[in-house]
A and B are shown apart, each in its own frame.
Chain A
Amino acid sequence: MLFKLSARNIVFFRSLFNPCGLHLGPFLPKSPPLRAETRMTPRPELDPALAPPFPVAALNILRNPQLRKNVAHATDIIQAKRARLVAEKKDWQQLRSAASEIRAHVLENLGAYLEKFEDRCIAAGGIVHWAADAAEARQIILDILREEKADEVIKIKTMTSAEIQLNPFLEAAGVRTYETDLAEIILQLGNDEPSHIVVPALHVNRSQVRDIFARTMGLPNLSDDPHALADAARNYLRRKFLDIPTAISGANFLIAETGAVAIVESEGNGRMCLTLPRTLITLAGIEKVVPRFRDLEVMLQVLARSATGERMNPYNSLWTGVTAGDGPQRFHVILLDNGRSSILTRPVERQTLKCIRCAACMNACPVYRQTGGHAYGSVYPGPIGAILTPQLTQMHHAQSLPYASSLCGACYEVCPVKINIPEVLIDLRAQVTDQERRRLNRFLDPIYLGMKIANFLFSRAWLFHAAQSFGRIGLAIFTGKDGWIHALPGLGAKWTQTRDLRGLPSQTFHSWWDDRAREAK
């Protein structure tokens, strides 16, 4: 035996024989493989620096039938609605092309457009901050809140704030955060994490929501009717909207031409947070800018259809700095880099930043639809998360994510801004492999050793033939009458647990050819 049958190697082999080709490379987990009954924390880890590799996290979830059912149900519905509305849109491909080109143009000229946005936003009464990383963004927000003497803040759903782990930071600093999006309330009160960027609680079903609300809102008689649950959330939040004078939002689009910010939403909690407070703090990734107001004629059309399968989502809000007598009178924008500018430097990967966060890729992804979002160990799950997360960490973490795909291309097909996700995945895999190649401990990596041995065998015909003969004899006792191997012992079981293996044929092509030649004589 070349290597010990340790837990690490078992995890490694499980990943090697994974149907989606999700190999772990050298990212061997620090702990033995998890079993369903030993699920450690109820709260999934979405910090890429701490999250387990994808195959380990996914395995845990694959054993949770309720969660898989919830995810399949939700993604099926959104997919069907999206498909119907895209089919009726005669100029869908033209809209996609325009959206893609607008976003690519912005990224090529990002510096100029950001400066223009900053200039116009300041002229309209806004205050613009720049944050190089998550820590700086968090500190800027806390400083503003201290200045406002705010010990409570209401929030619109913003994945960017989840990316910088804002809520735990603010809570630790003594600021109470109230999420106001229905899904985010479910997660916040249920001590859970988002598993989707548009419908963050799609892994939770109505009876689970009922239990969370009944427990945390003190409503023991609450029914599990979604209407009753939404009413409970409305009542829970109504006073918060009216009383808490500080709000935090993300941004869907920053308009360079005017310095305006646009928010796309459904429930009206966004409008509440954008209208009622005295002070509004908007956190936006630097890539969110579009050149002109007019560009929304493309972006809004593709976003609504792709995200929720609607011709238009119930509400869009756009505001420009501060308007006297209408809405917040103090307005801050924080432009967040946090790894984005480094993505710009690579021509293939740059397209990652075209993303408008519609989540169509995850709804379409055969891997996401099985595992849900938590397996990705990031607030950005699914195909876009698989390319965005490792790049945001500058390839220091989440290196297993580029392998969390079968490269089927469904994500590219539905992407409204034509991000060629498979192309980026392959490029990132190359980067991961390059990292591995520089590691000294590759000599301990079973894949590396296995490939070396294979290389040795395959380059010597007599050894190759010998290996085939031994293999045929060895496997014959496991091969059934139907010619298939249904169960293998030891490491091989990792393959046969989930699929059958074709038994070796009684004769190789070479020996058949030799026999044929001999008979001909």
Chain B
Amino acid sequence: MTAKIPSRRAILDRIRIATQPTADNPVLLAGAYAILPRTYIRTGHLSAEARIALMIERLREFDAEVVETSPESLPAAIAAQLVASGKHTFVAPPGLPPEWLAPGLDWKIDKGLPTSEIERAEGVVTAAFCAVADSGTIILHHSIAEGRRVLTLLPDWHLCILRSSQIVETLPEYFDRCPQPPALVTTISGPSATADIEMTRIKGVHGPRFLHVILVRDQGGQPIVH
């Protein structure tokens, strides 16, 4: 549905008069797009170990807590983080593996939870789609293991489970992993922050103030941080 047809026509007409008429030929347009210069760095050069080490370094620069673990000891590592947080009520997306839900805590699984329930939760545990080591960015596509957008927004404490095979070095490498453009994306580079008052960086304005990451070594190799 498109409202206000007259303005639409008027604006597009003005644009067409100002620009090349060939813009409407899809073949020419695709051709012009294809030859745009893209000489920037697309693939990283770091070894797997160095890439993971860089990701950890970047996350720590953001004051995020990072621990490493192996696939076998992941449930125990999650439980340890949850207990150490001192929090009791957690929300989780519906696609989270059941063994990640540490016993003895108050879990709310998001099968359409009302916002008020999510807001009351003290923390949230999710998976991730990808991570970019160059900037320490965690990327969510909001699958059933990553949760709806609201889930990683309202609770003040976010524990994100990241597999080492999900870490790429550069931002273009993340796009390589998206054969189809996703409908929803949230990228997280450290906790919510502002520098609006005298350029003083303040952690935690509206989003979660505490970001914890458990890095799961699923590509072999030993944890480099203990």
Contact = CB atoms under 8 A, between A and B. Distances in A.
Interface of A: 70, 73-74, 77-78, 90-91, 94-95, 97-98, 101-102, 105, 107-112, 114-115, 118, 122, 124, 127-132, 136, 140, 180-183, 186, 199, 201-202, 205-206, 209, 226-227, 229-230, 233-234, 237-238, 241-242, 255, 257-258, 260, 266-269, 271-272, 274-276, 286, 291-294, 296-298, 300-301, 304, 308, 310-321, 323, 325-327, 335, 337, 341-342, 344-345, 350
Contact of B183 (A78, A308, A320): A320
Nearest to B148: A326
10 contacts: A97-B37, A105-B36, A109-B19, A129-B2, A136-B4, A199-B196, A292-B181, A294-B175, A311-B136, A335-B11
A293 B176 CA distance: 11
A286 B172 contact: no
Given A205-B197, A226-B198, A267-B207, 4 more contacts: A108-B19, A112-B23, A127-B2, A312-B189
Interface residues of B, number: 74
B115 interface: yes
Given A129-B2, A130-B4, A266-B193, A94 B175 contact: no
Nearest to A100: B37
Given A226-B202, A234-B206, A267 B186 contact: no
B190 interface: yes
Interface string B146-169: 001110010000000000000000
A314 B29 contact: no
A325 B36 contact: no
Given A98-B39, A205-B198, A319 B183 contact: yes
Contacts of A227: 202
Contact of A296 (B29, B142, B175, B183): B175
B8 A344 contact: no
A267 B4 contact: no
B204 interface: yes
Nearest to A335: B11
B1 A122 contact: yes
B36 A102 contact: yes
A176 B65 CA distance: 40
B198 to A, nearest CB: 5
Interface in B175-211: 175, 178, 181-200, 202, 204-208
B207 A108 contact: no
A162 to B, nearest CB: 16
B137 interface: yes
Contacts of B38: 98, 298
A321 B182 CA distance: 12
B119 interface: yes
B135 to A, nearest CB: 4
Contacts of B135: 304, 310-312
A140 B8 CA distance: 13
Contacts of B208: 268
Interface string B62-80: 0000000000000000000
Given A136-B4, A345-B18, A293 B175 contact: yes
B197 A209 contact: yes
Contacts of A95: 40
A314 to B, nearest CB: 5
Interface in B1-44: 1-4, 7-8, 10-12, 14-20, 23-24, 26, 29, 32-33, 36-41
A114 B174 CA distance: 26
B197 A226 contact: yes
Contacts of A118: 2
A317 to B, nearest CB: 6
Nearest to A107: B19
B197 A315 contact: no
A102 B37 CA distance: 9
A101 B150 CA distance: 36
A300 B171 contact: yes
B114 to A, nearest CB: 11
B39 to A, nearest CB: 4
A275 B19 contact: no
B7 A132 contact: yes
B206 A269 contact: yes
Contacts of A183: 196
Nearest to B174: A297
